[in-house]
């Protein structure tokens, strides 16, 4: 690899923050049955902790992005990891369900803005033909979280109670803050004043709204199934609870493959990669509906859900950045909010099917239907806006 192809250390610092955020977001899926019992709430109510976090990201991302727009991006990133640390600490000591819900929402405020600012910083530090890969590398923190953080956190919670998991996650915050302080460069361009009116005008264009809708729909299908992956695997597939950690590890491996593939191909053919990954995701969700009662098939499908789910992430994030090239930070944060609005919608739809529909067996079919709609939106977006805009380099 030549010198120009190497990624700067700042992107790896961003990856550490992404690892912590990914762990706290995803680890709760494997602990839902235990948390439901311990807190004295229904499984669907416990699932709302996922929706609450996701809605917190959706609301907090654009607000914090605008409020922090006049701060140096390095300072903003460190402050956001401080919020992450405090939020997880309160989760660990929360005495009841509603305190935990509030703490999860507080934690979520750091999520969208961190990835929004981080995406802009990452793309500004590399050559134009490496931008999707830079985003993918930062998001690799999320995938590593699902390989290491989530299985370990699930095991720790099962052995020592779910609170121990949040104590462990809290320790990641200071490590990320130190890495960001050491390696993220200061840039004069990152101190420029932002005109709020111009930013909002840039992100309310129809092509940006379509990109955000695409992200919401694309990830709703993933989270409708993944929110309830623990009861699906134990109830439908018949796995013992102790098998959840290694299966979730396999899901994490799939995320790594999907994320890298999505980043690599999105730098070459953005909309083709995006549309193809959404089609593949829909097929996997249909597979869950048909074959999740078979253990071997269920394990393979969990891996493929990781691959296809995260293959969509780099192209979706790049699509948002390119659609609003005049307001990349706000557009990037809004797209992270859209991801999490999709998470919340998916978790809500899954809970609705669980409580008022056919139950666990129907969740995959509802997820596939939502994902199918995302394909139609992608095709429409591709047809009406085939040109790929350019993103201004910050440094």
Q: What is the mean pLDDT of each run of 10 residues along the chain (395 residues)?
A: 63 92 85 86 83 82 77 88 94 91 90 84 80 82 81 86 92 94 71 58 78 88 87 91 83 86 84 91 94 93 93 84 70 79 84 84 92 90 60 39
Provide the 3-class DSSP secondary structure of residue 288.
helix
User: 198 with 327: CB under 8 angstroms?
Assistant: yes
Q: At what angle do helices 313-323 and 270-291 cross, to 10 degrees?
A: 140
Q: Where are the domains of the chain?
A: 3-384
What single DSSP character describes residue 126?
Answer: S
User: 330 with 208: CB under 8 angstroms?
Assistant: no
> 344-356 in b/e burial notation, b at 16+ Cβ within 10 A?
bbbbbbbbebbee
How large is the greatest C-alpha to C-alpha distance in the chain, in angstroms?
57
Nearest to 163 by CA among 83, 103, 91: 91
For tokens 């666990």, the residue is 360
Nearest to 26 by CA among 294, 222, 218, 276: 222
Tokens (6 digits) for 174: 């200071």
Nearest to 298 by CA among 246, 334, 346: 246
Q: CA–CA separation, 225 vs 347, rounded Å?
A: 8
Which sign, positive or negative, has the C-alpha torsion 308, 271, 325, 202?
A: negative
What's the predicted TM-score (pTM) here?
A: 0.72
* Opening angle at CA 49, ends 365 and 168, nearest 5: 115
Query: What's the pLDDT score for residue 118?
Result: 87
Q: CA–CA separation, 84 vs 65, rounded Å?
A: 15
Q: CA–CA separation, 152 vs 145, rounded Å?
A: 9
Determine the straight-line distance between the first and last CA of the chain, rounded to whole angstroms.
22
Nearest to 145 by CA among 29, 20, 248: 20
* Residues in the chain, overall count: 395
Provide the 3-class DSSP secondary structure of residue 289.
helix
Nearest to 320 by CA among 335, 339, 340, 338: 335
User: H helices of 267-294, where?
Assistant: 270-291
> 205-228 in b/e burial notation, b at 16+ Cβ within 10 A?
eeebebbbbbbbbbbbbbbbbbbb
For tokens 């919401």, the residue is 216
What is the DSSP track for 202-218?
A: HHTSHHHHHHHHHHHHH
The CATH code that applies to domain 3-384 is 1.20.1250.20
Which sign, positive or negative, has the C-alpha torsion 364, 370, 376, 380?
A: negative
Query: What's the pLDDT score for residue 158?
Result: 84
Q: CA–CA separation, 361 vs 28, rounded Å?
A: 21
Q: How many CB atoms lie within 10 A of CB 116?
A: 30
Query: What's the pLDDT score for residue 385?
Result: 62
Nearest to 254 by CA among 286, 284, 234: 284
């Amino acid at each position: 690899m030549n010198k120009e192809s190497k990624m700067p250390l700042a992107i790896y610092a961003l990856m550490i923050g992404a690892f912590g955020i990914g762990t706290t977001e995803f680890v709760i899926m494997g602990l839902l049955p235990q948390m439901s019992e311990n807190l004295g709430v229904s499984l669907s109510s416990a699932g709302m902790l996922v929706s609450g976090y996701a809605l917190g990201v959706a609301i907090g991302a654009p607000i914090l992005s605008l409020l922090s727009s006049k701060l140096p991006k390095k300072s903003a990133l460190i402050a956001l990891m401080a919020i992450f640390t405090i939020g997880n600490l309160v989760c660990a000591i929360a005495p009841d369900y509603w305190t935990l819900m509030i703490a999860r929402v507080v934690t979520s405020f750091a999520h969208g803005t961190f990835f929004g600012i981080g995406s802009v910083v990452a793309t500004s530090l590399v050559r134009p033909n490496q931008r999707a890969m830079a985003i993918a590398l930062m998001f690799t923190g999320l995938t590593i979280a699902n390989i290491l953080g989530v299985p370990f956190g699930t095991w720790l919670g099962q052995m020592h109670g779910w609170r121990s998991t949040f104590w462990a996650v809290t320790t990641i915050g200071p490590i990320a803050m130190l890495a960001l302080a050491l390696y993220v460069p200061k840039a004069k361009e990152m101190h420029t004043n932002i005109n709020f009116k111009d930013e909002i005008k840039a992100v309310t264009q129809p092509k940006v709204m379509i990109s955000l809708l695409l992200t919401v729909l694309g990830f709703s299908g993933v989270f409708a199934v993944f929110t309830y992956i623990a009861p699906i695997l134990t109830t439908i597939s018949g796995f013992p609870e102790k098998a959840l950690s290694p299966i979730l590890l396999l899901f994490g491996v799939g995320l790594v493959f999907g994320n890298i593939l999505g980043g690599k191909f999105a730098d070459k053919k953005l909309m083709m990669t995006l549309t193809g990954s959404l089609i593949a995701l829909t097929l996997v969700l249909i597979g869950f509906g048909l074959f999740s009662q078979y253990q071997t098939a269920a394990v393979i499908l969990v891996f493929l859900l990781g691959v296809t789910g995260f293959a969509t992430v780099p192209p979706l994030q790049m699509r948002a950045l390119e659609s609003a090239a005049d307001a990349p930070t706000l557009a990037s944060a809004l797209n992270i909010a859209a991801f999490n609005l999709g998470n919340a919608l998916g978790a809500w739809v899954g809970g609705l099917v669980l409580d008022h529909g056919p139950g666990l067996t129907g969740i995959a079919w509802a997820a596939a239907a939502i994902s199918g709609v995302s394909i139609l939106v992608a095709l429409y977006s591709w047809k009406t806006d085939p040109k790929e805009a350019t993103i201004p380099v910050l440094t």
